[in-house]
Structure 1
């Protein structure tokens, strides 16, 4: 990771500075709160990012008996005000609000944080939360780069934190059943896997840059990303279609479906050994930066290939094809050929994958029991890595090799340089 040291900032200046200046990670105490969780304790959760999916995550915690919405944070004061009103309406009382996530992490009454920010703001709050002794739920894709993901996983292990990745398909029964069937050989020898991803849903045309709205702290929204003028079609949902902030549908839907592929292949802490570039097309007028369509083929060391087609009209989901049958799975859909293939039978040594009926609840349970969640940070990192590798091949327009044990692209300086990105001063990732 290309990192740069952040200047020392006093706590008084930190709390009074609204411009979002960086604070060295060492400023956070690397200690675990003494509070122990018992059967009747409520996990006190702070929410970092409360727009769109952040609102959905917030709603999922209002009314839970074993978790409490204890703090809200957003760099848009209008969004923050709306979330605060929602909490007051649903919970019957308000909770503290913050502009700067570091204020939230500095509170001793916060046990855990749920991060629903643009992708370029996943790594820093996660690493800082681990250093501050907080457990973390971070939305998918876990990271913006491979190097960030490794730093996040290492921080979780170093500080013994429970870090859940928001790849909630792991907690949906249709995906577990499909992955379990593949793991137990019900489709015979796996021959090919096809992942269909939707096209870019950017609503054009592009618009000119303009002054940011007064409610949004745009410099803080940019954070470690390169400095760019504000553009209303490059923030909020559309951030995912611009390279400084995200990776398009490959890291949006791909983070879901390729995660299930990794699960079904038993590669939760590994990955493919190569990415074959097939094609990639970009918007002719440059409305956005990520591919409009793309196709890459991942190869694993056992000969299994995964064809990932984005924006080409394929069903949004995963098709597992083997010598003994096929399985197609998507949200709310699970079908097989032959039709009884999903029902087994399996022998006494059959693989039984973890069951989780509720992704958020799984995180809370694991916090209280101090165990790893169903989509642990290492799992989320490896799945996001598959997505990042596909984007690297698409951006370079050529195939690449991958060493999953070393997490390196051997013999390719240009591709290797894309495994990390420099941070804009004064932000730094102290891994």
Structure 2
């Protein structure tokens, strides 16, 4: 039968064309989109909940990450949302070479942001009294979560967050970023490998517990939704120190007051107690006895672990620091500084030691990789909950002024109804967890 030369091709031509098409389809991405190009399908779409000072700090960490793209933000302070999105759009415009670029969608209410199906993960940088309500709802909405420290305002809220993340198979990274710094990772490995011998005691130098709210009342700014800022909480009057405007030199002071934060005990404690937990391999446990100072035989709040290790809340002359005292040496660690006795201990970490901890060099990149791999990040939800629990236990002991016995497995106090009554707090029904 005669072939129609206009409508048919030879087998040789077909194979040749198919090979050319195949070659085009398997070209590496950098050929199609430039060196360093990441396809949109490989990027994690981020929505920010909280666009204030800490949100802007996290923005600077996530923007350069090629594996992520910030697509939305919300805040109860409309001017903060607008400022945040303007910065995001300017960054992507400069990077893409486009003079006009709109990438960041502004929202007022976080539930509207959670409704967006194209958002893969959220970054929560709000006051602590909102964390649990937001994390539980973000997990139910199918979002992975980066949530600032301390993870929870109460122990019961922390457990609710752990349960929600597990139920919905989400990834959560707690913002305890010291776990991604070398001096703290080295500290954990020095302790775990016994390079200072058996631990005799640990001193944690941080500030104290929260105080009752005592700021004077001021007029609420027109573009601040104060009822929504309060969210789960009962009413307290507005003062700008709780929520400073962009450019104000002060950090929001909500963490100083009961019901809003846990004082420095949970603020810096979420960093320093966290490293103690890591070094002692207690990420799924915690202390069993908590004794507040009594001005007599107990000079500092003291915690004891089941293995006998004693930790005190004590100023040993260095601010925001930890001192590990062992039978064969000492370690003092704070941000950017690690001092050991004997001095050569750090060099021993280059050897073939049996106990190593999770290695992360970048806290935010580690989160994004965990999202892609569906794995646990360096400060996963259980870790964040347990570290926050230590600070919450300390605050309960300070408030009651009595020694307490704690069961880390049951997460209950032994024979103390007053203490167990402080494991949770009253929350408005709409935001309960």
TM-score interval, smaller chain:
0.7 to 0.9
- Shift in Å at residue 73 of structure 1? 0.7
Higher helix proportion (structure 1 or 2): 2
**Which protein is bigger by CA-based radius of gyration?**
2
Equivalent residue, structure 2, for 1:157: 166
281, 304, 311: which is aligned to 1:266?
281
The answer (yes or no) to whether the contact 2:232–2:427 under 8 Å persists in 1 is: yes
- Distance (Å, rounded) in 2 between the aligned partners of 1:161 and 1:218: 31
The answer (yes or no) to whether the contact 2:45–2:70 under 8 Å persists in 1 is: yes
140, 143, 149: which is aligned to 2:152?
143
Equivalent residue, structure 1, for 2:75: 74
293, 298, 301: which is aligned to 2:303?
298
Cα 1:112–1:99 change in 2 (3 A) is: same
The correspondence of residues 58-137 of structure 1 with structure 2, limited to 5 A, is 58-92=59-93, 93-94=101-102, 95-137=104-146
Equivalent residue, structure 2, for 1:25: none
- Distance (Å, rounded) in 2 between the aligned partners of 1:214 and 1:153: 37
- Shift in Å at residue 327 of structure 1? 0.6
The answer (yes or no) to whether the contact 2:208–2:265 under 8 Å persists in 1 is: no
Cα 1:315–1:152 change in 2 (3 A) is: same
Partner SS for 1:344: helix
The correspondence of residues 416-431 of structure 1 with structure 2, limited to 5 A, is 416-429=420-433
The answer (yes or no) to whether the contact 2:190–2:349 under 8 Å persists in 1 is: no
Partner SS for 2:228: helix
Cα 1:333–1:349 change in 2 (3 A) is: closer
- Distance (Å, rounded) in 2 between the aligned partners of 1:78 and 1:279: 47
Equivalent residue, structure 2, for 1:217: 225
The answer (yes or no) to whether the contact 1:184–1:346 under 8 Å persists in 2 is: no
- Distance (Å, rounded) in 2 between the aligned partners of 1:41 and 1:201: 43
* Deviates most, 338-347 or 58-67: 338-347
Cα 1:347–1:68 change in 2 (3 A) is: closer
The answer (yes or no) to whether the contact 2:65–2:365 under 8 Å persists in 1 is: no
Cα 1:201–1:392 change in 2 (3 A) is: closer
- 1:13-32 alpha-carbon deviations (Å, 9 max, x no partner): xxxxxxxxxxxxxxxxxxxx
- Shift in Å at residue 210 of structure 1? 2.4
| Larger relative contact order (CA 8 Å, sep ≥ 6) | 1
332, 338, 343: which is aligned to 2:347?
343
**Residue 232, structure 1, aligned to residue 232, structure 2:** no
233, 236, 258: which is aligned to 1:243?
258
- Shift in Å at residue 200 of structure 1? 8.8
- Distance (Å, rounded) in 1 between the aligned partners of 2:64 and 2:39: 19
* Deviates most, 335-344 or 97-106: 335-344
**Residue 275, structure 1, aligned to residue 290, structure 2:** yes
- 1:134-193 alpha-carbon deviations (Å, 9 max, x no partner): 100000000000000000001111111000000000000100001100000000010010
Partner SS for 1:386: helix
- Shift in Å at residue 207 of structure 1? 4.8
**Residue 307, structure 1, aligned to residue 312, structure 2:** yes
335, 350, 367: which is aligned to 2:371?
367
**Residue 401, structure 1, aligned to residue 402, structure 2:** no
Taking structure 1 as the reference length, the TM-score comes to 0.83
- Shift in Å at residue 231 of structure 1? 2.4
Cα 1:211–1:39 change in 2 (3 A) is: closer
Q: Which runs of 5+ in 2 are unaligned?
A: 1-37, 94-100, 245-251
- 1:290-343 alpha-carbon deviations (Å, 9 max, x no partner): xxxx94111001110011136x85432111110000011110000101101222
Taking structure 2 as the reference length, the TM-score comes to 0.83
Partner SS for 1:70: strand
The answer (yes or no) to whether the contact 1:144–1:247 under 8 Å persists in 2 is: yes
- Shift in Å at residue 350 of structure 1? 1.1
- Distance (Å, rounded) in 2 between the aligned partners of 1:265 and 1:38: 41
- 1:100-122 alpha-carbon deviations (Å, 9 max, x no partner): 10111111110000000000011
Count of aligned pairs: 377
- 1:255-311 alpha-carbon deviations (Å, 9 max, x no partner): 00000000000000000001111159xxxxxxxxxxxxx94111001110011136x
Cα 1:345–1:164 change in 2 (3 A) is: closer
Cα 1:119–1:173 change in 2 (3 A) is: same
Cα 1:307–1:39 change in 2 (3 A) is: farther
Equivalent residue, structure 2, for 1:54: 55
- Distance (Å, rounded) in 2 between the aligned partners of 1:66 and 1:152: 26
Equivalent residue, structure 2, for 1:252: 267
State the superposition RMSD in angstroms.
Answer: 2.2
